[in-house]
Chains A and B, each alone.
Chain A
Amino acid sequence: MNRLDTLFNSKKKNLLSIFTTAGYPQLSDTLLVVKALQDSGVDFIEVGIPFSDPLADGPIIQESSTVALENGMTLKLLLSQIVEIRKEVALPILLMGYINPVLQYGIENLAKKCSEVGVDGIIIPDLPMREFLEDYQSIFAKYDIKNIFLVTPQTSEERIRFIDEHSSSFIYLVSSSSTTGKKVGIEGAEAYLSRIQKMNLKSPTMVGFNISNKESFESATRFADGAIIGSAFVKAIAGQADVALAAKNFVRAIRA
């Protein structure tokens, strides 16, 4: 069974997911970071596929992508790192990245490989729903890989319903209309998040973007099943000699 399904079937409160860029800060840090996150009680992990032109990202994740690419990270290499990670990590793992590297790898190839190495889902922000539904949904279903859709404060109720209907796992609630790490905290998002909460969607929800500390994590999880931290975490491990320790300290402060 897909590990995301297992997770959302068994636990529905205060889920914490952490985003980390593959091959950052050092090429071989992916394993160290993911393992430290598991040890510190994170519920699932998103591993970023670095891209040269990350349109939806702010400076922190852009910079981590650039460093990771300079370190020599590629999608192929990441998938082989996941094989090693899976020997020690049982948590659900998602890949998050932009469409172009995925297209070059081949969508079907990637879905197949993900199921082989133990990736549970993919988030591709610039894969439009229409293309997904028409061209890729059946491929993802065949390999039991979850495709995660995003919703923003600007998304209409009708479209949210449509997305909910076609989601096979959680919906990613983007806390504000912004690139990643644009603001600190999710102030101002409460009305939007509570509006969505009242819609009683069938899919679980996770809030992401601008969640940076215990306070914003707790305010986000009042409205959703959990929250995702990206930029703040990447910043916390930037330039750290002991990334595992930095990762653990970061999570401890959130869960304290």
Chain B
Amino acid sequence: MNEAAGHSKFSVNERGFYGNYGGAYIPEMLYPNVKELEDNYLRIIGSESFQKEFRSLLKDYVGRPSPLYYAKRLSEKYETKIYLKREDLNHTGAHKINNTVGQILLAKELGKTRIIAETGAGQHGVATATVCALMGLECVVYMGAIDVVRQEPNVKRMLMLGATVIPAESGSKTLKDATNEAIRDWINNPVDTHYIIGSVVGPHPYPDLVARLQSVISEEILWQMMEKEGRDYPDAIIACVGGGSNAAGAFYHYLDNPKVELIAIEAAGLGVDTGETAATTKIGKPGVIHSSKTLLMQTEDGQIVEPYSISAGLDYPGIGPIHAHLFESGRGVFEAVTDEEAMQAGFEFCRLEGIIPAIETAHALAYLKKRKFGADQVVVINLSGRGDKDLATYIKWFEKQ
């Protein structure tokens, strides 16, 4: 499925690096787990039986292909041609399920009986709990104690689906800490457990594995653009970046097409210079987080800085190594959007298109206010998820205004 992209200068090399970033900075305790994955993932996900089952579940269970919808009123307002890639219409309400469906099949093939995951917004946790229920596997989800509160509907959903949710009480009590706890769990359960990581982060081969599973997004955009515009590419693709999996999936098949501008939107929180931000490419420096060399927010002494964003899914002090490479090489355009800008954009979008977007996704939408596209340019915004989980945050925000 990824023949062309397999030779991309933006794909991972045999050492697990994208340019200067990536690798597997793991303690020896994780070596066998990660090695097993590295030795088997390409063979398994490339196999005919895997592809057959994966494609069939994406179609009949997830509901793919997700539509590429021409957003007429939004286009009129911003005087350009905007298409929305409707990942919000997937089962469970976000792109996250593309990855979990793939990884659960991989885990089964590897003979694993127990699944762990981290989650920020809860979307990845829900998507993991969902596929575990589907396959009858035990599921443990780590979630930052703060996120357990701000994404409460998703906690309830995970419990309903039979998962165990463990609040991460260490550090900033958000996504970073949930990921730490999941990695510790994996160290303590090295034989029977598969860790379904939720973004293009973590040690090699995870960033590549997750990007390949999410690449179905741009694989569909190729033919959907052809159908709608008579050419298989847009002028720009906009996606929000927490770890960067929805962006990686939406960019994947266009990485080597210089006609397509790839725009990644990070969360600025209260503002890039306020100390309350998650805009990694703005204030981060190279380092190692969650076993991957990438850009991350840190002190001079190399301590990881606690990030801040109103959006739990973007509240992460690093980015996937592929994005660090896209940033450093100049292939990607990286911008940051504040809480305020995102919330306003989300609200406006509800009224224009009748779609309540996830707050993560609202960050991508807010970019339209910062950048004027030409009237005949075609822009695809990856609508990574729906905002049902965020209703309480939206309502509280607009009551304050």
Interface residues of A (CB under 8 A from B): 51-53, 55-56, 58, 62, 66, 69, 74-76, 98-105, 125-128, 130-131, 149-152, 154-156, 159, 174, 177-179, 182
Contact = CB atoms under 8 A, between A and B. Distances in A.
Interface of B: 15, 23-29, 31-32, 170-171, 176-177, 180, 183-184, 187-188, 190-191, 285-291, 296, 298, 300-304
A42 B183 CA distance: 33
B300 A179 contact: no
Contact of B180 (A55, A104, A126, A131): A55
Contact of B28 (A74, A98, A149, A182): A149
Contact of B291 (A74, A101, A126, A130): A126
A128 B26 contact: yes
A75 to B, nearest CB: 6
A125 B288 contact: no
Given A55-B180, A178-B187, A179-B188, A125 B28 contact: yes
A66 B171 CA distance: 8
Given A55-B180, A75-B302, A103 B188 contact: no
A56 B303 contact: no
Contact of A150 (B23, B29, B177, B190): B29
A100 B187 contact: no
A131 B296 CA distance: 20
Contact of B302 (A102, A150, A154, A155): A102
Contacts of B23: 128, 131
Given A154-B32, A154-B190, A177-B190, A55 B302 contact: no
13 contacts: A52-B171, A52-B303, A55-B27, A55-B180, A66-B170, A75-B301, A100-B289, A126-B26, A126-B27, A150-B29, A151-B28, A154-B32, A179-B29
A232 to B, nearest CB: 18
A69 B170 CA distance: 14
Given A99-B25, A128-B26, A150-B28, A74 B190 contact: no
A190 B187 CA distance: 20
Contacts of B301: 74-76, 101, 104
A177 B193 CA distance: 13
A105 B302 contact: yes
A74 to B, nearest CB: 4
Contacts of B303: 51-52, 69, 101
Query: Which of A151, A155, A179 has the most chain B CB atoms inside 10 A of its CB?
Result: A179
B25 A152 contact: no
A182 B288 contact: no
B302 A62 contact: no
A104 B299 CA distance: 9
B302 A53 contact: no
B87 to A, nearest CB: 30
A53 B287 CA distance: 13
Given A53-B289, A101-B301, A128-B25, 14 more contacts: A52-B303, A56-B187, A69-B303, A104-B287, A104-B298, A104-B300, A126-B27, A131-B23, A131-B25, A154-B31, A154-B190, A159-B31, A174-B29, A179-B29
Nearest to A172: B28
Nearest to A163: B28
B28 A179 contact: no
